[in-house]
Structure 1
Amino acid sequence: MTDRTGALLIHGLGGTQFDLGPLHKVLQRAGVETHAVTLPGHGTQPEDLVSVRAEDWLDTVVASYRELAPQYDTFHVLGMCMGSLLALALCERVQHSKGKLVTLAPPIFIDGWSTPWYRGLRHLVYWIPGLPARMKVEEDEPFGIKNSTVRAIVKAKFARGDNFHYRWVPLACVRQVDRLRRQVQANAHKITCPTLVVHAREDELTSLKSAEFLRGTLTDVRVVVLENSYHMICVDNDREQVINSVLEFFGYPPAPARRMRGA
């Protein structure tokens, strides 16, 4: 009887499974049964994020894990951006040992080259009554994408109003991401499962300091640094390297090479 392998894939803030590019299909072709989770406040409208707390996101992924993991001989956890923070927090919470952990562009620190010098002032704004719920943090150029063709496609999707990613998120929601970041910083040392960190050198949201933090904190970790992408690494220039890094880490052969649109 063949062992069953599954994986829980967790999207990023304001996002959908689009954040993960072709990873679901690629892993399925390799024989992994993938499971998506839609985080609270997502898949509807940005206003629905105002009242969501970090605990709501984490409780959702923990519940999914506890339902799914017992069904498999091997079960992996993979997250993109905020989803990688949740994947880290999840693996610490449940002491994941049934498979491996993949963190893609984990924003342990929000300190990338496009973040403004006054980014730290948001912590003061959090305490002004009512303001974090009303302030909008807009998605703007370069949309986390270095590849000009893919960036143009994403820009057109936003212009059409496609429901693949929120055009903005409330500042109140960013506060919850900050709470989640602090939790991961405090507890990551308790994670013992083999972990892969994939991070772009030019990530505009979160610098390589995040990858280096995980390299220095986790007990069993491999770091892959990408040289030709921004933050959205699953859909940018290095997406084939991302895919094959994940496949190799999970013990599968590389995916067939495909012509990269706009590369």
Structure 2
Amino acid sequence: MLIHGLGGTQYDLGALHKRLKRGGIGTHSLTLPGHALEPKALVGVRAEEWIDAVTAKYREIAGQYEVVHVVGMCMGALLAAIVCAREAHTTGRLIMLAPPVFIDGWSTPWYRAFRHVVYWVPFLPENMKVEEGEPYGIKNTLVRHIVKAKFRRGDNFHYQWVPLACIREVDRLRALTRRSVRQIRCPVLVVHAREDELTTLRSADFIAREAPMVRVVILENSYHMICIDNDREQVAASVLDFLGVADAIAGGSESVSPRLGTVLGARR
């Protein structure tokens, strides 16, 4: 089960679904409420709606398979953790890709904490735009140029902005995640870039400290969008290894000069 991030689509996870299928694992995804339309569709969407949508999809898939693995990217990782905790998920594994448990990366402005005050200003959260900008979560120059070109063409692969009210709901998910992590009962893989501009390694450290069975992989050559950045080959290889699946094309042409990251052993 693959869960995309805020303002995104299944493309947030790059070619991961293809790699899983090559390994013999069927993939299922969903479009979160307010997505795949236009940014203003997110106005009024509550965190509970995202949780309910993921829960419904999880239960649908769980009714079809004996083993279900849950994979989430960015906000999708938060949703994956919350649902795995609430559903007492033990039939498979949980994979959290770049989970923003804390929003404290190097590109976040010093005044980011003031958003919690602005949330209470009438009408402003619904009408204030939080725009995507450089570096778009991508360290690889070529991929970043491709993403910028897609934005210019208006391709519907990722929202160029989200309403501030939506960030408020993500903050609520972050708080729920911090309370839910200890309730997770399945093995967890966290893949996080050291240079993530949105969220520091503090997020990965928190999950490793609070959840019972955690493996952490630290990437050394990517920003936030790890599934499409320089280390995307290592991300796929780490996921397949964690799931016990042979990597049919490890080191193949899909790699973009990845540097080996750091793997921290499972905490038990």
Amino acid in the other structure paired with 1:26 = R
Is residue 2:23 matched to residue 1:26? no
- Which of 154, 173, 176 aligns to 2:169? It is 176
Structure 1 contact 149–261 (Cα < 8 Å) conserved: no
* Equivalent in the alignment of 2:179: 186
- Which of 43, 65, 75 aligns to 1:72? It is 65
Q: CA RMSD in A?
A: 0.9
* Equivalent in the alignment of 1:196: 189
Number of equivalences: 256
* Equivalent in the alignment of 1:104: 97
Is residue 2:27 matched to residue 1:53? no
Is residue 2:258 matched to residue 1:259? no
- 1:224-263 deviations in Å (ceiling 9; x for gaps): 0000000000000000000000000000122412235764
Q: Distance in 1 between matches of 2:56 and 2:180?
A: 20
What are the equivalent positions in structure 2 for 1:178-257 lying under 5 Å apart?
178-256=171-249, 257=251
- 1:75-99 deviations in Å (ceiling 9; x for gaps): 1000000000000001011010110
TM-score when normalising by structure 2:
0.94
Q: Distance in 2 between matches of 1:36 and 1:189?
A: 26
Structure 1 contact 150–262 (Cα < 8 Å) conserved: no
What SS is found at the alignment partner of 2:79?
helix
The runs of at least 4 consecutive aligned structure 1 residues that moved more than 6 Å come to: none
* Equivalent in the alignment of 1:10: 3
Structure 1 contact 78–87 (Cα < 8 Å) conserved: yes
TM-score when normalising by structure 1:
0.96
Structure 2 contact 73–99 (Cα < 8 Å) conserved: yes
Amino acid in the other structure paired with 1:52 = V
Name the % identity: 63
Q: Distance in 1 between matches of 2:167 and 2:84?
A: 22
* Equivalent in the alignment of 1:165: 158
What SS is found at the alignment partner of 2:222?
coil
Structure 2 contact 190–204 (Cα < 8 Å) conserved: yes
Structure 1 contact 107–181 (Cα < 8 Å) conserved: yes
- 1:99-149 deviations in Å (ceiling 9; x for gaps): 000000000000000000000000000000000001000000100000000
Structure 2 contact 231–256 (Cα < 8 Å) conserved: no
